[in-house]
Amino acid sequence: MGKKRIIQQTGEELIKEREKVDAKVEKEVKTSSKKILEGRIYISSTYNNTIITLTDSMGNVLGWVSAGNIGFKGTKKSTPFAASKVAEAVSQIAKKIGIEKIAVFVKGVGSGRDSAIRSFVARGLEIISIKDVTPVPHNGCRPKKVRRV
Protein backbone atom coordinates (compact mmCIF):
# COMPACT_ATOMS: atom_id res chain seq x y z
CA MET A 1 0.00 0.00 0.00
CA GLY A 2 2.84 2.40 0.66
CA LYS A 3 3.14 5.19 3.15
CA LYS A 4 0.05 6.97 4.26
CA ARG A 5 0.33 10.72 4.14
CA ILE A 6 -1.62 12.84 6.55
CA ILE A 7 -2.45 16.21 5.06
CA GLN A 8 -2.41 19.01 7.60
CA GLN A 9 -3.76 22.41 6.75
CA THR A 10 -1.56 25.36 7.48
CA GLY A 11 -2.83 28.49 9.13
CA GLU A 12 -2.93 30.30 5.79
CA GLU A 13 -5.12 27.60 4.21
CA LEU A 14 -7.54 27.73 7.15
CA ILE A 15 -7.77 31.52 6.85
CA LYS A 16 -8.44 31.26 3.09
CA GLU A 17 -11.17 28.69 3.71
CA ARG A 18 -12.83 30.90 6.34
CA GLU A 19 -12.66 33.92 3.99
CA LYS A 20 -14.29 31.86 1.23
CA VAL A 21 -17.24 31.02 3.52
CA ASP A 22 -17.46 34.64 4.71
CA ALA A 23 -17.52 35.87 1.09
CA LYS A 24 -20.43 33.53 0.29
CA VAL A 25 -22.32 34.72 3.35
CA GLU A 26 -21.80 38.40 2.50
CA LYS A 27 -22.99 37.80 -1.05
CA GLU A 28 -26.19 36.11 0.12
CA VAL A 29 -27.19 38.57 2.87
CA LYS A 30 -29.61 41.24 1.79
CA THR A 31 -29.35 44.30 3.98
CA SER A 32 -32.70 45.65 5.03
CA SER A 33 -33.55 48.98 6.58
CA LYS A 34 -35.39 47.56 9.61
CA LYS A 35 -33.72 45.40 12.21
CA ILE A 36 -35.24 42.02 12.97
CA LEU A 37 -34.68 40.88 16.56
CA GLU A 38 -36.38 37.46 16.50
CA GLY A 39 -36.22 34.76 13.88
CA ARG A 40 -36.79 31.12 13.16
CA ILE A 41 -34.27 28.53 12.09
CA TYR A 42 -35.38 25.39 10.28
CA ILE A 43 -32.85 22.53 10.32
CA SER A 44 -33.52 19.79 7.78
CA SER A 45 -31.10 16.97 8.53
CA THR A 46 -31.31 13.91 6.28
CA TYR A 47 -29.04 10.96 5.70
CA ASN A 48 -27.50 12.79 2.73
CA ASN A 49 -27.36 16.49 3.58
CA THR A 50 -28.04 19.21 6.15
CA ILE A 51 -29.96 22.31 5.09
CA ILE A 52 -30.53 25.21 7.48
CA THR A 53 -32.97 28.03 6.64
CA LEU A 54 -33.21 31.34 8.47
CA THR A 55 -36.59 33.09 8.43
CA ASP A 56 -38.22 35.97 10.22
CA SER A 57 -41.11 35.42 12.62
CA MET A 58 -43.63 35.54 9.75
CA GLY A 59 -41.82 32.78 7.83
CA ASN A 60 -40.20 34.89 5.11
CA VAL A 61 -36.83 33.39 4.15
CA LEU A 62 -33.86 35.63 4.96
CA GLY A 63 -31.12 33.17 4.04
CA TRP A 64 -30.26 29.50 3.75
CA VAL A 65 -27.12 27.40 3.66
CA SER A 66 -26.55 23.70 2.98
CA ALA A 67 -23.54 21.48 3.50
CA GLY A 68 -23.16 21.09 -0.26
CA ASN A 69 -23.34 24.86 -0.68
CA ILE A 70 -20.38 25.35 1.65
CA GLY A 71 -18.22 22.86 -0.22
CA PHE A 72 -18.72 19.42 1.30
CA LYS A 73 -19.19 16.61 -1.20
CA GLY A 74 -20.50 13.06 -1.05
CA THR A 75 -20.88 11.36 2.31
CA LYS A 76 -19.15 14.23 4.12
CA LYS A 77 -22.30 16.37 3.69
CA SER A 78 -24.20 14.32 6.26
CA THR A 79 -21.61 14.50 9.06
CA PRO A 80 -22.05 16.43 12.30
CA PHE A 81 -18.97 18.51 11.44
CA ALA A 82 -20.57 19.69 8.20
CA ALA A 83 -23.76 20.55 10.09
CA SER A 84 -21.81 22.65 12.58
CA LYS A 85 -20.11 24.54 9.74
CA VAL A 86 -23.50 25.18 8.12
CA ALA A 87 -24.81 26.45 11.46
CA GLU A 88 -21.84 28.82 11.76
CA ALA A 89 -22.57 30.26 8.32
CA VAL A 90 -26.26 30.76 9.18
CA SER A 91 -25.36 32.39 12.50
CA GLN A 92 -23.15 34.86 10.60
CA ILE A 93 -26.12 35.76 8.41
CA ALA A 94 -28.28 36.17 11.52
CA LYS A 95 -25.71 38.44 13.19
CA LYS A 96 -25.48 40.65 10.09
CA ILE A 97 -29.25 41.03 9.97
CA GLY A 98 -29.40 41.73 13.70
CA ILE A 99 -31.23 38.64 14.94
CA GLU A 100 -30.51 37.83 18.60
CA LYS A 101 -33.26 35.37 19.57
CA ILE A 102 -34.18 32.30 17.54
CA ALA A 103 -36.72 29.50 17.64
CA VAL A 104 -35.32 26.25 16.23
CA PHE A 105 -37.40 23.73 14.27
CA VAL A 106 -35.63 20.42 13.60
CA LYS A 107 -36.80 18.04 10.90
CA GLY A 108 -35.27 14.74 9.86
CA VAL A 109 -33.26 11.86 11.23
CA GLY A 110 -29.71 12.79 10.19
CA SER A 111 -26.66 12.99 12.40
CA GLY A 112 -26.31 16.79 12.15
CA ARG A 113 -29.27 17.77 14.30
CA ASP A 114 -27.57 18.12 17.69
CA SER A 115 -24.29 19.57 16.48
CA ALA A 116 -26.09 22.32 14.56
CA ILE A 117 -28.01 23.40 17.67
CA ARG A 118 -24.83 23.35 19.75
CA SER A 119 -23.13 25.55 17.17
CA PHE A 120 -25.90 28.15 17.43
CA VAL A 121 -25.46 28.25 21.21
CA ALA A 122 -21.68 28.54 20.86
CA ARG A 123 -22.01 31.45 18.41
CA GLY A 124 -24.02 33.49 20.92
CA LEU A 125 -27.58 33.22 19.60
CA GLU A 126 -30.24 32.95 22.29
CA ILE A 127 -32.50 29.96 21.65
CA ILE A 128 -36.11 30.52 22.71
CA SER A 129 -37.43 27.06 21.86
CA ILE A 130 -36.45 23.84 20.13
CA LYS A 131 -39.21 21.90 18.39
CA ASP A 132 -38.97 18.59 16.54
CA VAL A 133 -41.24 18.70 13.47
CA THR A 134 -40.16 15.39 11.91
CA PRO A 135 -43.12 13.86 10.07
CA VAL A 136 -44.20 10.61 11.71
CA PRO A 137 -46.82 8.28 10.21
CA HIS A 138 -49.51 7.87 12.85
CA ASN A 139 -51.61 5.06 11.35
CA GLY A 140 -50.04 4.20 8.03
CA CYS A 141 -51.81 3.55 4.78
CA ARG A 142 -54.95 1.47 4.41
CA PRO A 143 -54.31 -2.28 4.61
CA LYS A 144 -55.15 -4.68 1.80
CA LYS A 145 -58.58 -6.25 1.81
CA VAL A 146 -58.84 -9.69 3.39
CA ARG A 147 -58.16 -12.56 1.00
CA ARG A 148 -61.17 -14.85 0.48
CA VAL A 149 -60.58 -18.43 -0.61
* Tens-binned pLDDT, residue by residue, of the chain (149 aa): 567 776 676 777 767 777 776 666 666 565 555 678 899 999 999 999 999 999 999 999 999 999 999 999 999 998 999 999 999 999 999 999 999 999 999 999 988 899 999 999 999 999 999 999 999 888 888 889 999 98
Distance separating alpha carbons of residues 112 and 53, to the nearest angstrom: 14
H/E stretch holding 18 reads: helix 11-28
In CATH terms, is domain 36-132 a member of 3.30.420.80? yes
Query: What is the side-by-side strand order in the sheet with 38-45?
Result: 61-66, 50-56, 38-45, 101-107, 126-132
Domain boundaries, the chain: 36-132
